[in-house]
């Protein structure tokens, strides 16, 4: 084991592993490497606290769409039993409290360097080491580089002409000011109606003088039915952890509910509507699990889509607004399905208007507000709920170069190429937690993260037990995996939402490639376990020179 020491010659702190990011992934990875394997590891985190995505996403209404009792680590029975969530869906502040509790409970903060932004990570072929440099000029050297930067941490502010001219204030939801934003008496424009915009609009509308929502693509949403958790439910969860986790680990998406094993066409129309109504009343992402073929058959999906569009028409009283909001061009859940608290109801407020950007696109931002082809909207504040340069963006920001000085950005010019979303050809001893090609964002994230971290930890333990100095994904295996990622996506309706960030379509110039693995978490877990059990086929394992 290398000591966490600073070599006076290079002034570079040396560790077994450098982990980048102190969210769910980085915290657990540090726990595994340091507390289980006894290795020296450091987490480099650009924020001044733990939380990762939840450190930055503090926008009004920011709340998790996974149910709280499933949005947590499962690795510690004690942790599961002692932590109590307060609501069905935890808000951003409660999730940060949870992650701080975890960091304190496992004494993790002493090995996290906060306010430390990685600007480059370079693989040194000759020494088989990673050299990591930070914005403040510090350098770190490590055998393993583990990226724990999340999938949705690189804000996408669209390049709309004139933003610099705007005399008001503007904010991106993913980089929200910690002190909050006071909307009182303000005219607010919100661009974006994805999961974030759908959470934010109702809360902003309650405070602002006026909210104008600029919608490019209409979206489905199902009520979250958020509520405080009852004592009975909290106690039930405590008593039934093993069963709940068994369900989560057995499903394709890591949630604590099963997908019903019935087709839309197994039941009469009357029965189907009753089942949709029941799922609507229950609320949440579980709506998607009402029938097994909702995500794979367009004809089946059409029935849910129609039900949800009708709900919009029933809720929104102004027929013109209802028509714009329900004019949805993709199957339900082909984009990440939002859940909401009073989103469509918000459009019944007198102080909320809606602009259809499909009919009247934004031409520019002016000193006074947003100018579409039809009108100029005077605003004091613009909120960009415009999403992220997802999955690859956070990795590119690290300035990673692998073998022979190859930049990750160049290696992935035509789209990301990984083996299992965990390893990248040309980038030895680098592991990507929830990287492109992993189920990650198509799964309840903590479930996906724990599987990755456990696999990486076991892999490093195997390397150290067997004198293996270097592991690197093989190109043919990565190419095959890319084909499998495509195949899995094409077996679903996901590619039918041509503008989704799953495809990279939301960022101009980004190669279009379906990035997450849609084959299901349970299946993926088995594939990864098989690879490990068979001695890591698809990876090249090299012994240390002295052992060769
Ligand atoms: O981002 P999005 P998000 N002009 O990319 C619009 C996770 N999440 O932050 O669809 C006008 O989904 C864009 O329009 P279009 C979750 O995985 C989790 O909402 O490209 N509009 C779209 O309406 C989610 O999927 C939770 O036509 C522009 C919106 O902005 C992911 O984060 C909560 C535009 C972006 O939607 C991202 O969601 C929230 C432009 N130039 C989010 N550019 C929880 O679980 C973009 N748009 C808590």
Q: 142: CA distance to ligand 1 center in Å?
A: 36
Spatial neighbors of 236 by CB under 8 A, at least 6 apart, are none
- pLDDT, residue 134, reads 98
Give the sign of the dihedral formed by CA 22, CA 27, CA 28, CA 29: positive
Q: Which atom of ligand 1 is nearest to the CA of 505?
A: 20
- Contact in structure between 336 and 493 (CB atoms under 8 Å): no
- pLDDT, residue 545, reads 59
Q: 334: CA distance to ligand 1 center in Å?
A: 13
- pLDDT, residue 548, reads 42
- pLDDT, residue 9, reads 39
* Residue ranges, the chain, pLDDT below 70: 1-10, 545-548
Most ligand 1 atoms within 8 A of CB, residue of 96, 358, 506 to mutate: 506
- Contact in structure between 218 and 193 (CB atoms under 8 Å): yes
Q: Per residue in 302-357, pLDDT tens?
A: 999 999 999 999 999 999 999 999 999 999 999 999 999 999 999 999 999 999 99
Q: Is 256 in the pocket of ligand 1 (CB under 6 A)?
A: no
Which residue lies with its CA nearest to atom 36 of ligand 1?
A: 194
Per-residue burial over 503-537, b if 16 or more Cβ lie within 10 Å, else e, is bbbbbeebeebbbbbbbbbbebbeebeebeeeebe
Q: 336: CA distance to ligand 1 center in Å?
A: 9
Q: Is 216 in the pocket of ligand 1 (CB under 6 A)?
A: yes
- Contact in structure between 349 and 208 (CB atoms under 8 Å): no
Strands (E), 345-385: 352-356, 362-365, 369-372, 376-378, 381-384
Domains recognised in the chain with CATH numbers: 4-154+393-547 (3.50.50.60), 191-231+254-384 (no CATH)
H helix intervals, 180-297:
195-207, 231-239, 241-250, 269-282
Predicted TM-score (pTM) of this structure: 0.96
Q: Is 195 in the pocket of ligand 1 (CB under 6 A)?
A: yes
Q: Is 337 in the pocket of ligand 1 (CB under 6 A)?
A: no
A 10 A CB-CB count for 62 gives 21
Q: Which atom of ligand 1 is nearest to the CA of 192?
A: 30
């Amino acid at each position: 084991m290398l000591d966490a020491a600073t070599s006076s010659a290079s002034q570079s702190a040396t560790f077994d592993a450098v982990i980048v990011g102190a969210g769910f992934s980085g915290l657990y990875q540090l726990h595994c490497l340091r507390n289980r394997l006894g290795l020296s590891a450091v987490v480099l985190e650009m924020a001044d606290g733990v939380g990762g995505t939840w450190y930055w996403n503090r926008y009004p209404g920011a709340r998790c769409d996974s149910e709280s009792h499933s949005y947590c680590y499962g690795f510690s029975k004690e942790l599961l039993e002692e932590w109590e969530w307060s609501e069905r869906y935890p808000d951003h502040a409660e999730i940060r409290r949870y992650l701080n509790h975890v960091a304190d409970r496992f004494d993790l903060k002493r090995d996290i360097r906060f306010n430390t932004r990685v600007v480059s990570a370079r693989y040194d072929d000759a020494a088989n080491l990673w050299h990591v440099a930070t914005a403040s000029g510090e350098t770190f050297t490590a055998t393993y580089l583990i990226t724990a930067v999340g999938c949705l941490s690189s804000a996408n502010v669209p390049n709309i002409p004139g933003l610099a001219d705007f005399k008001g204030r503007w904010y991106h939801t993913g980089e929200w000011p910690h002190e909050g934003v006071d909307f009182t008496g303000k005219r607010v424009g919100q661009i974006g109606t994805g999961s974030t915009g759908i959470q934010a609009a109702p809360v902003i509308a309650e405070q602002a003088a006026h909210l104008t929502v600029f919608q490019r693509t209409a979206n489905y949403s199902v009520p979250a039915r958020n509520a405080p958790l009852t004592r009975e439910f909290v106690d039930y969860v405590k008593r039934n952890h093993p069963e709940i986790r068994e369900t989560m680990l057995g499903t394709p998406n890591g949630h604590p509910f099963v997908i019903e094993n019935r087709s839309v066409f197994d039941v009469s129309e009357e029965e189907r509507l009753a089942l949709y109504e029941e799922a609507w009343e229950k609320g949440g992402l579980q709506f998607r699990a009402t029938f097994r073929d909702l995500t794979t058959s367009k004809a089946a999906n059409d029935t849910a889509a129609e039900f949800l569009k009708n709900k919009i028409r029933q809720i929104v009283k102004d027929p013109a607004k209802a028509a714009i909001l329900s004019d949805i061009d993709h199957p339900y859940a082909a984009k990440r399905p939002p859940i909401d608290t009073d989103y469509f109801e918000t459009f019944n407020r007198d102080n909320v208007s809606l602009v259809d950007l499909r009919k009247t696109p934004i031409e520019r931002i002016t000193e006074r507000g947003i100018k579409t082809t039809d009108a100029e909207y005077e605003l004091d504040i613009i909120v960009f709920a415009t999403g992220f340069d997802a999955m690859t963006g956070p990795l590119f920001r690290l300035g990673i170069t692998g073998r022979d000085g190859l930049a990750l950005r160049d290696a992935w010019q035509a789209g990301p190429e990984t083996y299992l979303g965990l390893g990248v050809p040309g980038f030895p001893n680098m592991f990507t937690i929830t990287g492109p090609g992993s189920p990650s964002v198509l799964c309840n994230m903590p479930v996906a993260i724990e599987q990755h971290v456990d696999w990486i930890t076991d892999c490093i333990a195997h390397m150290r037990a067997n004198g293996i100095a270097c592991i690197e994904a093989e190109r043919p295996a990565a190419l095959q995996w890319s084909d499998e990622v495509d195949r899995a996506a094409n077996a679903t309706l996901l590619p039918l939402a041509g503008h989704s960030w799953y495809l990279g379509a939301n960022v101009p110039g980004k190669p279009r490639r379906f990035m997450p693995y849609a084959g299901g978490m349970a299946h993926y877990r088995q594939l990864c376990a098989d690879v490990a059990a068979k001695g890591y086929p698809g990876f090249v394992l090299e012994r240390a020179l002295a052992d060769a």
